[in-house]
């Protein structure tokens, strides 16, 4: 029995004239996700994606898991291919049903017939396949309202397909179809989730990480690489820019008011990330900030950090509770890495009583005690790039 993967395009089906370019990106992304398993044939016809391989897909479960992480796909299933005649459809449906049976006791058959020339209509196909299964499998009955397994028969132009239940796809828009953005990636729970959410909307990601040796160690840096690698299941080919942040933090600590430390530090992060975004042709910054979560995430603090950026700052978590963010981080498997206990540069020198409503004027007075340009340029000189 030959199996392929059938998938349904997500939101991109709503696109008009430019739909082809979204489909092209999606096909490229699926092929790339599958490339460790060989070269696959991927085609889209009428919003259905056909994923096949010359000589058959040897490891279909592994291929399926990979396609499940490709953005732009609403749903997917493994499907058995059969000839377009009732005998072969029935035989294949029975074999496939037995394979997917598990502990199921009830089933129903559904049918879609896009080739209207086929000699039986959908109700006839359902009736024939259903009675064939009933005749050949013991202890099984039909339940049209709440079946344990639904067997779907699709009669299309070139072949017929039999499959059981669809699984949910990754959703969103094809990765890279919305432009490029630079993610400020810490070792925490929030920023990987923020990156995932924007990648899901089609943004190609690069990441910037600030580290502060000797206050933060090699393990903290490694942790961020591991997080970026996890994200790369969804966002392949990411570049991670590491920026040494020690001098900036020490200079702020030494020269500026303690209760403004965090906001001034965050303004340096924005200056640096903004420049890296500019140089790497990204059009937005992404952070994992959520309103009110900490002192630097109040409206006034956010306004004060935003005003420095030439690019829009996207904060997909702004309206989410921590619990909701954690649920996503578990789903994308970054949670276990995020909770490893290595210090992030953000927590180094954190003031005990940060000001929650700083004014821009007082910040600027403090910043003028520093040689901002020199600090920024020194930090930019330390940038190293890791190709994930
Ligand atoms: P996270 O869990 O993502 O670390 P957080 O709740 O700890 O977030 P903050 O430490 O205030 O919040 O950081 C807010 C955002 O600033 C982060 O989500 C991230 O986008 C960015 N950020 C913080 N620290 C770093 C860092 N060391 N390198 C790069 N970006 C950082
Ligand atoms: Mg953090």
**What's the 90 CA to ligand 2 centre distance in angstroms?**
57
pLDDT computed for residue 346 by the predictor: 75
Tell me how far apart the alpha carbons of residues 356 and 259 are, in angstroms, rounded to a whole number.
9
pLDDT computed for residue 12 by the predictor: 86
pLDDT band, very low/low/confident/very high, at 165 (cuts 50, 70, 90): confident
For residues 5-16, average pLDDT:
90
For residues 194-217, average pLDDT:
96
pLDDT band, very low/low/confident/very high, at 164 (cuts 50, 70, 90): confident
**What's the 218 CA to ligand 1 centre distance in angstroms?**
18
Ligand nearest to the CA of 305: 1
CB distance 169 to 13 below 8 Å:
no
**What's the 185 CA to ligand 1 centre distance in angstroms?**
7
CB atoms within 10 A of CB 319: 9
Residues 6+ apart with CB under 8 A from 271: 308, 372, 376
**What's the 141 CA to ligand 2 centre distance in angstroms?**
55
pTM (predicted TM-score): 0.92
Atom 2 of ligand 1: nearest residue by CA position: 188
pLDDT computed for residue 104 by the predictor: 84
Atom 18 of ligand 1: nearest residue by CA position: 288
Set out the domains of the chain in order of their start, with CATH numbers: 3-168 (3.30.2130.30), 180-387 (3.40.50.620)
Residue of 188, 277, 317, 334 with the most ligand 1 atoms within 8 Å of its CB, for mutation: 188
Strand partners, 163: 79, 152
Q: How far is CA 351 from the centre of its chain?
A: 34
Give tens-digit pLDDT for 13-37.
888 888 999 999 999 999 999 999 9
**What's the 74 CA to ligand 2 centre distance in angstroms?**
32
SS3 of 377, please? helix
Q: Percent of the chain having pLDDT more than 90?
A: 85
Q: By 3-state DSSP, what share of the chain in percent is helix, strand and coil, each rounded to 5?
A: 40, 20, 35
Q: Give the β-pairing of 179-184 and 149-155.
A: unpaired
Q: Where are the alpha helices (DSSP H) in 2-147?
A: 19-34, 60-67, 86-100, 122-136
- Residues in the ligand 1 pocket, defined by CB under 6 Å: 184-186, 188-191, 208-210, 287-289, 293-294, 296, 344-346
pLDDT band, very low/low/confident/very high, at 312 (cuts 50, 70, 90): very high
Given a cut of 80, whether residue 198 has pLDDT beyond it is yes
What is the position in ligand 1's atom list of the atom closest to the CA of 208? 29
């Amino acid at each position: 029995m030959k199996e392929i993967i059938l998938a349904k395009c997500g939101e991109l089906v709503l696109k008009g004239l430019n739909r082809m370019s979204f489909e092209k990106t999606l096909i490229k992304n699926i092929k790339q996700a599958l490339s460790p398993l060989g070269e696959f044939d991927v085609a889209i016809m009428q919003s259905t994606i056909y994923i096949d391989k010359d000589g058959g897909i040897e490891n279909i479960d592994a291929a399926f898991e990979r396609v499940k992480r490709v953005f732009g796909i609403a749903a997917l299933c493994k499907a058995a291919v059969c000839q377009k005649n009732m005998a072969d459809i029935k035989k294949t449906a029975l074999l496939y049903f037995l394979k997917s049976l598990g502990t199921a006791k009830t089933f129903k058959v559904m049918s879609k017939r896009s080739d209207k020339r086929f000699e039986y209509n959908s109700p006839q196909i359902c009736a024939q396949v259903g009675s064939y299964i009933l005749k050949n499998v013991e202890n099984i009955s039909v339940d049209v309202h709440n079946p344990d397994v639904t067997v779907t028969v699709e009669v299309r132009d070139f072949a017929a397909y039999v499959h059981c239940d669809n699984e949910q796809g990754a959703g969103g828009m094809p990765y890279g179809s919305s432009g490029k953005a630079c993610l400020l990636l810490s070792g925490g729970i929030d920023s990987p989730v923020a990156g995932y959410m924007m990648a899901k909307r089609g943004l190609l990601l690069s990441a910037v990480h600030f580290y502060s040796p000797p206050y933060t160690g090699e393990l903290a840096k490694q942790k961020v690489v591991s997080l970026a690698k996890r994200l790369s299941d969804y966002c392949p080919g990411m570049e991670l820019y590491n920026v040494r942040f020690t001098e900036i933090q020490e200079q702020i600590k030494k020269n500026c008011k303690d209760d403004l430390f965090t906001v001034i530090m965050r303004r340096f992060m924005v200056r640096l990330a903004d420049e890296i975004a500019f140089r790497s042709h990204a059009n937005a910054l992404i952070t994992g900030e959520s309103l009110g979560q900490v002192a630097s995430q109040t409206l006034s603090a956010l306004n004060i950090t935003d005003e420095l950026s030439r690019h829009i700052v996207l904060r997909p978590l702004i309206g989410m509770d921590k619990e909701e963010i954690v649920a996503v981080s578990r789903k994308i498997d970054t949670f276990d890495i995020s909770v490893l206990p290595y210090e992030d540069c953000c927590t180094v020198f954190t003031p005990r009583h940060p000001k929650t409503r700083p004014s821009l004027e007082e910040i600027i007075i403090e910043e003028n005690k520093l040689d901002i340009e020199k600090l920024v340029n020194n930090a930019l000189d330390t940038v190293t790039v890791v190709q994930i």
